[in-house]
């Protein structure tokens, strides 16, 4: 059984879906947040899953912050990581500890409307501003390039004439809730395969 850590900074609706999904050969074993007020932490408690808040501002450097996270991951024997609304960018130092073992969900069709600065409602505002006719959700591996790792799964949604950033966000959030559990199962399967080699 692989142990999965979910990193979330806010509401945690994606986390909730994962906590309610039975995975083959894996389970959510830890929730990590940089935000002590994140509702995601409540969700973890409600499911009796260990959770920890590690604010970035408590550490003198990004590396010290990430070393603290790594220590907790080790204590909980974490095999792979899911970024589900985690609002901080992890450095190559951290990512190298989990090569091909971190995935992220992003609310656009990568490689469009992604990378640094494209987060939350800003993504959907940029999509509508540009005038594209479809957007969607992507699940991808995390590497040193922000939103640049290999794509695992994508789903598209069409944009209506009356679309607002908020209505688009809602539609895409529903897509993410279908897509992310599939991505997590793929992550588990690949991690097990890699262990066998």
Positions annotated as catalytic residues are 106
Six-digit token string for 59: 């550490």
Q: Which of residues 57-86 bind ligand GRF (CB under 6 A)?
A: 84-85
Query: Can you tell me which of 18, 30, 69, 105 binds ligand GRF, judged by CB under 6 A?
Result: 105
E strand or H helix at 83, and its extent? Answer: strand 80-83
Which lies closer to ligand GRF via its Cβ, residue 2 or residue 142? 142
Which lies closer to ligand GRF via its Cβ, residue 14 or residue 191? 14
Please tell me what DSSP assigns to residue 22.
Answer: P
Query: Can you tell me which of 107, 136, 181, 183 binds ligand GRF, judged by CB under 6 A?
Result: 107
Asked if residue 152 binds ligand GRF (CB under 6 A), the reply is no
Query: Can you tell me which of 66, 79, 147, 176 binds ligand GRF, judged by CB under 6 A?
Result: 176
If you count them, how many residues does the chain have?
Answer: 197
Apex 51 CA angle, 48 and 54, nearest 5: 170
User: For residue 109, what are the contacts with CB-CB under 8 A and spacing of at least 6?
Assistant: 134, 135, 136, 137, 138, 154, 156
Contact characters 10-39, ligand GRF, x per CB under 6 A: xxxxxx------------------------
């Amino acid at each position: 059984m692989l142990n999965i850590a979910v990193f979330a900074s806010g509401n945690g609706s994606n986390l909730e879906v994962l906590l309610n999904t039975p995975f083959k050969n894996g389970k959510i074993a830890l929730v990590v947040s940089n935000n002590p007020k994140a509702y995601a932490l409540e969700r973890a408690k409600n499911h009796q899953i260990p959770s920890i808040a590690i604010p970035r501002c408590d550490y003198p450097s990004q590396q010290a912050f990430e070393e603290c996270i790594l220590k907790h991951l080790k204590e909980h024997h974490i095999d792979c990581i899911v970024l589900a609304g985690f609002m901080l960018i992890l450095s190559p130092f951290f990512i190298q500890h989990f090569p091909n073992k971190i995935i992220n969900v992003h609310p656009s069709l990568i490689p469009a409307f992604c990378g640094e600065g494209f987060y939350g409602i800003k993504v959907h505002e940029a999509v509508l501003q540009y005038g594209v006719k479809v957007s969607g959700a992507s699940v991808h591996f995390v590497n040193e390039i922000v939103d640049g790792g290999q794509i695992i799964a994508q789903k598209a949604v069409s944009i209506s004439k009356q679309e607002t950033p908020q209505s688009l966000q809602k539609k895409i959030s529903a897509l993410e809730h279908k897509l992310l559990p599939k991505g997590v199962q793929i992550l588990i399967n690949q991690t097990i395969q890699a262990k066998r080699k």
